[in-house]
A and B are shown apart, each in its own frame.
Chain A
Amino acid sequence: MDLIFNAEAAGSGAGHAEEALQLVPASSEQQLMLLAVLFLPLIGFLLTGLVGRRLGERPWIISISAVLISAALATILAFSALTSADPVRYGFTLYTWIPVGDLQVDFGFLFDNLTAVMLIVVTWIGSLVHIYSIGYMEHDESKWRFFAYLNLFMFSMLLLVMADSYLVIFAAWELVGLSSYLLIGFWYKRRAPALASKKAFLVNRVADHGFLVGIMGVFLITGTMNVLQSFELMPWSETEWWIVDIVILLLFVGAAGKSAQFPFHVWLPDAMEGPTPVSALIHAATMVNAGVYFIARTSPIFALAPETMLLVASIGIFTAILAASIALTQKDIKKVLAYSTLSQLGYMFAALGVGAWVAAIFHLMAHGFTKGLLFLGSGSVIHAVHEEQDMDKMGALRKKVPITHWTFLIAALSLSGIPPLAGFFSKDAILGESFIFGWTPVFAIGLVVAGMTGFYMFRLMGKTFYGKSHVDPEVEPKIHESPRSMTVPLILLAIPTAFLGLVIGLPLGDAVIFGWLDPIFAPAEEIMAIHGHEYVIFGIDGALILVSVAVASIGIAVGIWFFGFFGLRARLDDVRALTARNRLTRGLYTATYNKWWFDDLNDRVFYRFGGAVANGVMWFDVKVIDGIVNGVGSVTQRIGDDVRHIQTGRVQNYALGIAVGLIVIATLFILLAR
């Protein structure tokens, strides 16, 4: 079936916004800009990687200019798409990557409002993280390598969000995995980052396997690798429904791995061993959103499998509460943020699962800016207290790092869901829609998680910025605010964190972002039979907002009560008393502090048991398989050793052999010929 390249249909599509979006060919300017957005970071990576060592003290010049230009172009593209009256969807094929018989994979681009939103998140946060890294990596010897890797990551992530075929998306998927691996293990001489990068890579490999098989399944069912074509062909395939379900489930496994959903969540907290800008960019704001983006991109396919959607929602909300519970007790500032990221990603998956597609992408955006800011802020804090990450050795930093503190406070409030910050709008959209669509358990658990979010964020704030100082007395006098290259990105990120919701989250019920993204998710919503409902601010919807804000406020209040806030004193002794009061609280505390022992479980199951199985298999391989192979070899050798005595090297012996042979043959001939 041919893809419909019909400019006329799209041109007259103003009145038919509800009908399927038509793909129009991109104009040559659009093509050029898309190519520039994608390939500038790649050029930056190659140049910095090749000659970076010679750039001396400023190896970031090339990579930062590449990313900034790319971001500017992406912004122009995104704004022209988002502000146009009709929903936009254009694309073009750069060249045919793999032409083999029936399998034809194009290296093509697809641009619509979803891509535009992702481009804004990726390029803006990416640029700010690049600038921030100038200050953060100032004293690192091989910072050119760092900037080269960052550019490679930007290229991979942009390819992931702009590609129009499953195979290219998969390639980009692996590329972001590679750059994540390289950046987590950036300080590869230390043991912990090296191990963490390996863990991240291996866990992702397991999930990517599912992804790859899922892609093959889509190809077998639809016969195409093109994302848009598969949307058209998938519903009409005559494949059994359960096979379709399994294929979609496998795609979900890949998405869950990249977005670190249970049971693949174990790699993300360890990934915090990497430099903090990497944690902000890759492991909070962009790469871990790849799974959410992929499910949103292929929403018409996921909508075909209600069973898998149920699983997406369950896994998502389970991860949300599991990670939030672990975040309550962690001592490492980055670990708290890492588990918080997991928890928020769980929200997004839950939103995808219940069919609140736009809310999921909205939360992706809001959380991307917020969590990027939080991580960069935590980097600034860690920098200030001389590479100390343990929150028990911080405290009372409010006045010493004022810019960091204020931006951090905005982000913490946003993440907790306090209006009118960005996180409030997106989280409220998720909770509200899951309730309206009848997913009460998701709503209830989500509400609990919202309360926990408020608590752990203000526990973090209290332990870090307020109360008494527990900083090492030697470091204490040297604490200072970070350089301008680090504080400016913090301030710039605080702007969308504060105002994003007001800009695109209003008016409630008919927000701007819904206008942008609804046409993209219309096919999926049609399949799932989701219908828009009348938004009643002085009714059910207003009540839902009040409930979620109230719960978040309770969480914040409890956090402040125990850990202090500005002038309020902390009650750390009460916390200690509470966790030690009886067996239940003590047990809960130990359990969440030890991350519910998932790492130990993995250690038992995969390292010990799996290792034993692998050893058994290796024994079989070494003793039996190799034994057979080597046996054949040594037997042949021994026979050869004996038989070679026949070869005397004397002509007469050979001639005799020939003569005797001739006689034997002649005799046989004479005898048998009769």
Chain B
Amino acid sequence: MSSAPSSTASTTGVPAERAARDEQVAVLLVSHDGARWLPTVLEGLAGQHGVDGRIAAFVAVDTGSRDGSADLIGAAPLAPTPHVVETRGGTSYPEAVGLGLDHVREVAPHATWVWLLHDDATPAPDALAALLAQAHARPEAALLGPKLREWPSLRRLLEVGVTISGTGRRELGLERGEYDQGQHDEVREVLAVNTAGLLVRREVLEQLGGLDPQLPVFGNDLDLGWRAAAAGHTTLVVPRAVVFHAEAAHRGVRRTPLTGRHTHYQERRAALWTLLANAPARSLPLTLVRLVLGTLLRMLGFFLVRSPGEALDDLAALVSVYSQPGRLRAARRGRAATRRDDDATRARVRALRAPWWLPYRHGLDTVGDVVSALTDQASDVAQRRRAAAAEADPSSMAALRLQRDASDLDAVEEDDEQRYADTGVVARFATNPVALLLVLVVVAALVLARPAYGAVVGGALAPVPEAAGDWWALLTRGWHPLGSGTDVPAPAYLLPLALLATVVGTTATVSALMVLAVPLSLWGAWRLLRVVGRFVSPLGAPRWLLLAGSLTYALVPLTSGAWGGGRLGLVVLATVLPWLGHAALGFADPEADRRWRAAWRSGLLLALATAVAPPLWFAAVAVAVVVLLAAAGVVRGALRERSVWAPPAVALVATPVLLLPWWLPALLTGAGEALLLDTGRLPGTRVGALDLLAGRVGDQVAPGAPVWLGLVLLVLAALALVPRATRVPVLICWVLAVVVAAVAALLVRVPVRLEALRVEVEPGLGSSVVLLQALLVTAAVLGALGAVRARGSRPARWLVVSLAVVAAVPPLGGLVWATLDGGGVLTSTEDGDVPAYMVQRAETAPERGVLVVRGSLDDGVGYRVLRGDGDTLGEDEVLALAAEDDELTATVRELVSRPTPAVVAALGEAGVQYVVLAAPADGRVAAGLDASGGLTQASADDRGTRAWEVTRELSAASVTGETPWWRVLLWVVQAAALLVVLVLCAPTVRGRRDR
């Protein structure tokens, strides 16, 4: 955008010998219901100085104002007297300008310039003079525009010339709400200037055919500028000339029949039209495609920031423009008539347009805004509560404390600033023991997670399938060709797993969840404890305390034995829980809108947590009820306000809706036990009283850290009740712990029987263990905070110091234990009973199942049917919850006891191709199978294992089934709900909304 004198081409059509100094100007004012601004505008017009005698005429076109705008103008003390042309309402701005031009031709045939003004734009006294002076200085200029400043603030810059990006965005080259400090005050050549205050050669305007009537309100300035540039004219912005503009139409302050309610639609339509009408023929096809894709992307973006109206406006604008190819062609023909087709002009237009990368930068900016808003959500809820309390009652304790705390905080920050003054980032980091320790802990956690790198399996963790597609199939099918075929729904946690696996693959998904469990829960716990600390004290908890607390919690997946035992669900729960707690703190926000955001966020995270550990939901319901009742008890009428009780209720209700395709079919197919069981291979371990107290979920194989280590935390949490300053928040933690304990005590009374495995199991208490550990850690940290902040006597201090040593035991002990003995039962592969060639065959068709028989005649026989690639993660739970196939059990009983050809034929009908007698094979059973007709011996991996192939016809009929329509419906509901909740829990990006 060079401001250098342009080539001779740009001056063509302007007789150089004309005495510019004496050129006459016709002022053309278009008004519509502008009585609010007109008096000022007219005053501004009357106050123009330095233009004596050069205003040839005032022409005002009023488009059917109903507020007396026309009369206002007619009565204005202007010289020469204004000519008011009244026309019908609904006349577009281009039409009005056209009318005005006709009139100018009559009343001021000698006027070479036309000065366009809006009824909401008032010129500074020297605006016209400055424009004319510039026109004289740069005779090649055909269009000159002023600097637009905001009205009524008068200081903010609105426009200093505009251009248009490849996506149709109006590019101003200004920061949002930038103040005018003369920073943009050079005369530049630009693509276009706003029509408000545009000084244009009448001749050029007429030659270009005026403004495009296809652009009734918005964007016609860009189009005009583009056309002018294409025709070889020069457009200049003259910052010395200032016009104050209210942008009434854009801001929606003024609604006309033309703008309607959808200003966004009009703006977008204008942008599309301008791009398509003016784009060079060569790039037109690409532009057409790009605008469609861009519109879809923009719509997605608008949906994500909860602006469906704008998204629909975008779509309507696209449809409106694309459905009128005839008009578009006509418009392009018209532009082709005035266009100069030489390379220099084309290059000039290109240079005046926004650079190609600008849209991408805007995209990045938006993403950055969203991310920062996401991470900042609810983090300052404690401060906001204090501020709100102080605001509500400035004389209250809260306000006084806020003042005092603020000064404390300032002092601390000053200290920090002084301490860290003149030091670099590295030096700061190296001299900060907490940061160093944090890094050390994360590195240690990543090293400790060695067994989980790559494929990981063992304990309750089944191997993963080869591709994410298998998980999607399991999720979307209403009938699974597993075992004897079952309609038990896939576990709910497969959805997040499948989503992740679609991106990074199945093996990496499980590996990442296991490896990142400790670092992520450390991060989450740190954030949670920091906010909780700020609730109690505005200074928050000291960082070493945060480190100790969050590290203790982050080691819970390891020390509880969940990690080593392959309890993926509990590991993920431990990772998610602090984030869920953090989100739930948002319910305490003083702003209703933020409480609602917290509701959707908590709902989403609670759904995730419930998916990985279903019994958690019951504890969440109990906790929510107790907290709400307590809140009602403390503050009378707290629950009368809907925005107080409804958000937590929504979060609780959102969970079942988000998990609908899982729990409803589970109940309907007789697998309702799934709602009460922890996830992972069934049957799981049994959790007793001591396990709950010490935070252990392990079994004999992977028992977790020593129990006494867990009891230390319990003792610390109990001691946390001693400091008076923080006793109430610690008591709250304990109340919640009692609620969770009560839920666990109730849950364990529910008898759960897995029919398919013929075992009684205990309802899953793993989630209670993790939840209790989180509460105990929080209580201990709060108590420690109270002890630290209390400035006690010397003996008390010694007590605190010795307690601090004890408090270091759980995290350090946990780390040491995890280093020595944390690997548990995790391995990279699990040996199966089934030879590889059978698995390969089984993967080709559902009826090629493998019947694995284990045991002996004397001690009883167990069997299972493997199909496909074996029982992978998710499938094992479906099978365990499926009903027992009595017919198949009877067939197997006959097979191992008294096999006959009829029994073998029944196997074929049940879709079994191979029978494998796992080592050590019972010779009597093997002999019977050898003797029966219809089975031929097949090779097995080792001598102890025996295998046969069924030579009868195989049938998939009993294994395969259809997905009922209502299961598909549930899936659609889930997808829709997920989308809605995701959009609703997205943070409010303030800047964007205030644009």
To the question of whether A and B form a pair in one complex, the answer is no
